Amino acid sequence: METRPVDRLLVPVDGSAFSEIALHQAARLAQRLGLPIAVVSYIDTSAAHDAVSRTLRSLVASLPPGLRVDVRVHEEGSDVHVRGYVAERILGEAGDDTLVVMASHGRSGLGATLIGSVTEQVVRLSPRPVMVIGPACPDAPIDGGAVVACLDGSPLAERTLPVAARWAAGTNAELWVVQVIPDDVPPADDERYLRGVAAGYSPARADVLHGSDAAEVLVEFGERGRAAVLVLATRGRSGWSRLTLGSVAMNVVRHATSPVLLVGVDGADELAAN
């Protein structure tokens, strides 16, 4: 095993089925890499603290044995309803060595927050990569497949490559670099481009994919290639379709059956420097 891509996982949960799936995915990853997990929840009433703690501990008890799990319930008062507050608290609790793993949808069963909107805020504000478990992602292992770096021809998107490469090395997975172009665009230039960028991360594979809907193509590729994780930038402009890669990333999250590692420009810089 190469150096692990992170040293700890932080999993915010809200009692919803979606956040439980995110926790189960994180638990399998933690078990595989020997990582500790911090399970956190934010509530707006002290009266619910004991009930929430019991619920979380019951949930943690269903995880694979042997995991190092720290359960934390934070009483935030009415501040939990202030837009961006919980996201900032989550990021404040996540250190430089921590991967935040979150669900992208799900209403709170504990009365804390809407985990989907908080996830979007965490992704937007985070200086580090965030792993997002979308609603189509099954409660199944995330290992055993390739790490797929999804580019769009822009220099900004290329800055996710060190993140994807480190994740592939740390999980003993194959690195696959792909780009989606429209059906009517000749692939020659894009193939040369992808081979060129992938050459810096040998033995990475490179493939040009075709289709008018980049998100749909990436989701299908992930399913067909059994991707362990799809890695996308949250900012950047496509060299061919002129679409914002951030919107493509969000559509991939909604429909992917694999976890999605979202990397902002700052997040790429942060992890590449470590």
Q: pLDDT, tens digit, for every residue of 123-134?
A: 888 889 999 998
Residues in CB range of 156: below 8 A, 6 or more apart: 233, 235, 236, 237, 245, 265
DSSP state of 46: G
Amino acid (1-letter code) at residue 216? E
C-alpha separations of 118 from 102, 125, 254 in Å: 9, 10, 15
Amino acid (1-letter code) at residue 223? E
Q: How confident is the model at residue 273 (pLDDT cuts 50, 70, 90)?
A: very low
Q: Between these two residues, 220 and 46, which has the higher pLDDT value?
A: 220
Q: Is the Cβ–Cβ distance between 260 and 230 less than 8 Å?
A: yes
How much is the average pLDDT of 136-164? 83
Domain covering 8-133 in this structure, CATH number: 3.40.50.620
Domain boundaries, the chain: 8-133, 147-273
| Distance of alpha carbon 103 from the chain centroid | 9
Residues in CB range of 221: below 8 A, 6 or more apart: 148, 178, 207, 209, 227
pLDDT at residue 144 greater than cutoff 80: no
* Residue from 179, 180, 175, 181 nearest 148 by CA: 175
Task: Give domain 147-273's CATH number out of 3.40.50.620, 3.40.50.2300, 3.40.640.10, 2.60.40.10.
Answer: 3.40.50.620
Equal CATH topology for 8-133 and 147-273? yes
Least confident span in 123-132, 164-173, 260-269: 260-269
Token pair recorded at residue 57: 């501990």
Mean pLDDT taken over the chain: 82
